[in-house]
């Protein structure tokens, strides 16, 4: 899942992950692409660790130290953008 | 302790001796001691222009940055006390704290500045931390050793946060002890993992400032990003690491900390805030030759006992001891029959000495020894082993949480009839679980979170929310927390 990560596909993957892991499946379908995950405490310290490990191990993307900022963790959409801009095309 | 030194003199002194050495690094910028000193003076003049002076309070609500650290120094220089607000707190809670301590001004920037201005209106001054600063004359207001230096708000059992008031003497008694114990010097590079609202950051900032060393701020989002945190330790050449054990466990288990050799420069790894499972300590000791120190103390006393890990500790099957008194304090155990404990006894740890707080804001001053509420056991050599709590205060990844405060926030929701909050799991895996009884209609899980987010900092928002028809009770009619915790 390295080269050419499509933003829309990543949004879908991250949304599913957040629903399953942090929102007990989100039975009422409340999570949106622009839901503020930080403000709602969905990405607390534990869940940040779980998410970062998922991005590294399952999506095979290492987010550089410099990209770790509150703005990039705010919503599913901003997380997806951070993943896409961190993913360098393989074979370089 | 030099009796004439105050907390703000640490930066002033180091700016005189080491003006060009790095002082604080973070958020993509770095300030030398001269630059930090200049910025603190410039911000101090702005505070004075707003009418802030000796004896006042100023709230600092900002993500970690050199500019936020400079603002804290500026507040001290005008003779006032700073009140850090959690970056994850909602604006309403920050406004409540500001009113509670009658702060004269709030330092913030960006969205937070807009949000808190909307809450508080014209009643207080606002200092925008992002504004460029101009050169200004030095500011240093004379204050007493027992004057207030900062207020740290902690969770309160009745649903209202409590402001722990700490003096210059309180802070410096600990800082002087730790600087001497570590043999800290200007070449040291301290990591700052904890939030500025958490007293662990007092060591990182002020041990560094007192010797002309540098402090390297770790933003909240980086604090639990495993791989990146390990990269940070190597890239920044950290010599002294201080954090809750959870962060170290995370780096070991998921960040690959142990897979590359320990950095040569790393000479002390310090942990506090919660018990550190012994297996993790063993792994750390195998990995690094750095000193391993376990510090203990509630916010009300900062660090009052300490223990340095020795090889014999690694054979234990429980966390390392919290050790013996430090920072000039005396610590003892009050047993159930009211007598001072002897080796083998268990009881509440009591602390007296220079680090004991002035009191809670708005309450009677603290007089005499402070009762910690922590139960300890006295070991044969007279040192202490942590055994547990007397009340419903819990620690989740180092954050101190009164379950009653979370329950009070939950039951303020119109569709929640009753609530019990328990902690399920331990260490890094600890989760705050809310067990709720719905009212006339069942609220959605995100709407419950939204409701909590308007009242509590995010670390107090339950990780798991589930509904039951009725809360289980014990035979005496109280909520059966033990049963809930085991069954959740």
The alpha carbon of residue B168 is apart from the nearest alpha carbon of chain A, in Å, by 31
Q: Are strands B464-467 and B431-438 parallel, antiparallel or unpaired?
A: parallel
Distance CA B464, CA A24 (A): 8
Distance CA B213, CA A43 (A): 33
Report helix angle B403-411 to B445-453, nearest 10.
110
- Looking up tokens 């007089």 gives B367
Confidence of residue B472 (pLDDT cuts 50, 70, 90): confident
pLDDT at A91: 40
Q: Is pLDDT at A92 greater than 80 in this prediction?
A: no
Choice between B76 and A47, residue whose per-residue pLDDT is larger:
B76
Choice between B404 and B115, residue whose per-residue pLDDT is larger:
B115
Contact B70, B43 (CB under 8 A): yes
- Looking up tokens 């791989």 gives B227
Nearest to B416 by CA among B450, B386, B366: B450
Q: Is pLDDT at B448 greater than 90 in this prediction?
A: yes
Distance CA B86, CA B63 (A): 8
**Nearest beta carbon to residue A40 from set B221, B254, B453:** B453
Q: How many residues in chain B?
A: 488
As a whole number, mean pLDDT of residues A11-17 equals: 96
The alpha carbon of residue B477 is apart from the nearest alpha carbon of chain A, in Å, by 31
The alpha carbon of residue A9 is apart from the nearest alpha carbon of chain B, in Å, by 23
Q: Is pLDDT at B348 greater than 60 in this prediction?
A: yes
pLDDT at B449: 92
- % of chain B exceeding 70 in pLDDT: 99
Does B444 contact chain A (CB < 8 Å)?
yes
As a whole number, mean pLDDT of residues A50-54 equals: 93
Nearest to B1 by CA among B249, B264, B355, B290: B355
For the stretch B366-399, pLDDT in tens is: 999 999 999 999 999 999 999 888 888 888 888 8
pTM comes to 0.89
| C-alpha count within 13 angstroms, C-beta hemisphere, residue B349 | 29
Identify from A24, A37, A49, A69 which residue to disrupt to test chain B contact, counting B C-beta atoms within 10 A and taking the largest count.
A49
For the stretch A61-90, pLDDT in tens is: 999 988 888 889 999 999 999 999 988 654
Q: Is pLDDT at A3 greater than 70 in this prediction?
A: no
For the stretch B188-233, pLDDT in tens is: 999 999 999 999 999 999 999 999 999 999 998 899 899 999 999 9
Q: Are strands B148-154 and B162-167 parallel, antiparallel or unpaired?
A: antiparallel
Contact B26, B66 (CB under 8 A): yes
Cα-Cα-Cα-Cα dihedral of B78, B84, B87, B90, to 10°? -100
Instruction: Check if the interface score ipTM surpasses 0.85.
Output: no
Which residue of chain B has the CA closest to A56? B227
């Amino acid at each position: 899942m390295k080269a050419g990560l499509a933003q829309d596909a990543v949004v879908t993957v991250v949304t599913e992950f957040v629903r399953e892991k942090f929102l007990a499946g989100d039975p009422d379908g409340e999570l949106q692409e622009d839901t503020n995950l930080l403000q709602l405490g969905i990405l607390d310290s534990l869940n940040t660790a779980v998410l970062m490990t998922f991005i590294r191990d399952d999506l095979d993307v290492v987010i550089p130290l410099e990209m770790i900022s509150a703005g990039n963790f705010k919503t599913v959409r901003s997380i997806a953008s951070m993943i896409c801009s961190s993913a360098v095309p393989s074979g370089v | 302790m030099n009796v004439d030194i105050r907390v703000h003199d640490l930066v002033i002194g180091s700016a005189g001796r080491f003006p060009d050495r790095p002082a604080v690094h973070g958020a993509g910028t770095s300030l030398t001691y001269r630059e930090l000193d200049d910025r603190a003076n410039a911000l101090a003049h702005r505070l004075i222009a707003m009418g802030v002076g000796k004896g006042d309070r100023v709230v600092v609500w900002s993500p970690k940055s050199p500019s936020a650290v400079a603002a804290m120094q500026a507040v001290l220089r005008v003779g006032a006390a700073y009140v850090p607000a959690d970056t994850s707190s909602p604006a309403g809670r920050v406004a409540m704290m500001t009113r509670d301590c009658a702060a004269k001004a709030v330092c913030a920037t960006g969205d937070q500045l807009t949000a808190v201005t909307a809450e508080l209106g014209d009643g207080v001054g606002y200092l925008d931390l992002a504004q460029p600063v101009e050169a200004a004359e030095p500011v240093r207001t004379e204050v007493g050793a027992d004057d207030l230096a900062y207020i740290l708000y902690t969770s309160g059992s009745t649903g209202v946060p409590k402001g722990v008031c700490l003096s210059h003497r309180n802070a410096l008694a600990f800082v002087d002890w730790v600087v001497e114990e570590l043999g800290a010097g200007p070449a040291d590079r301290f990591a700052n993992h904890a939030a500025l609202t958490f007293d662990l950051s007092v060591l990182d900032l002020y041990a560094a400032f007192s010797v002309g060393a540098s402090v390297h701020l770790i933003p909240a989002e980086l604090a639990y990003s495993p791989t990146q945190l390990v990269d940070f330790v190597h890239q920044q050449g950290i010599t002294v690491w201080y954090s809750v054990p959870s962060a170290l466990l995370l780096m070991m288990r998921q960040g690959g900390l142990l897979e590359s050799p320990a950095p040569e420069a790393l000479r002390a790894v310090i942990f506090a805030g919660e018990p550190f499972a012994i297996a993790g300590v063993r792994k750390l000791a195998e990995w690094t030759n750095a000193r391993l120190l376990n510090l203990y103390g509630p916010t009300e006393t900062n660090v009052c006992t300490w223990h340095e890990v020795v090889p014999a500790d690694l054979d234990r099957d429980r966390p390392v001891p919290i050790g013996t008194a430090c920072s000039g304090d005396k610590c003892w155990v009050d047993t159930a029959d009211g007598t001072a404990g002897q080796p083998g006894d268990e009881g509440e740890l009591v602390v007296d000495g220079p680090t004991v707080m002035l009191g809670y804001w708005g309450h009677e001053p603290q007089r005499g020894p402070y009762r910690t509420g922590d139960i300890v056991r006295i070991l044969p050599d007279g040192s202490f082993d942590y055994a547990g709590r007397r009340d419903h205060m819990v620690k989740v990844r180092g954050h101190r949480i009164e379950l009653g405060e979370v329950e009070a926030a939950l039951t303020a929701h119109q569709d929640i009839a009753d609530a019990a909050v328990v902690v399920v799991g331990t260490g890094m895996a600890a989760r705050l679980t809310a067990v709720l009884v719905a009212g006339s209609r069942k609220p959605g899980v995100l709407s419950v979170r939204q409701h909590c987010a308007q009242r509590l900092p995010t670390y107090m928002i339950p990780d798991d929310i589930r509904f039951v028809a009725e809360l289980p009770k014990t035979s005496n009619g109280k909520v059966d927390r033990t049963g809930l915790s085991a069954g959740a």
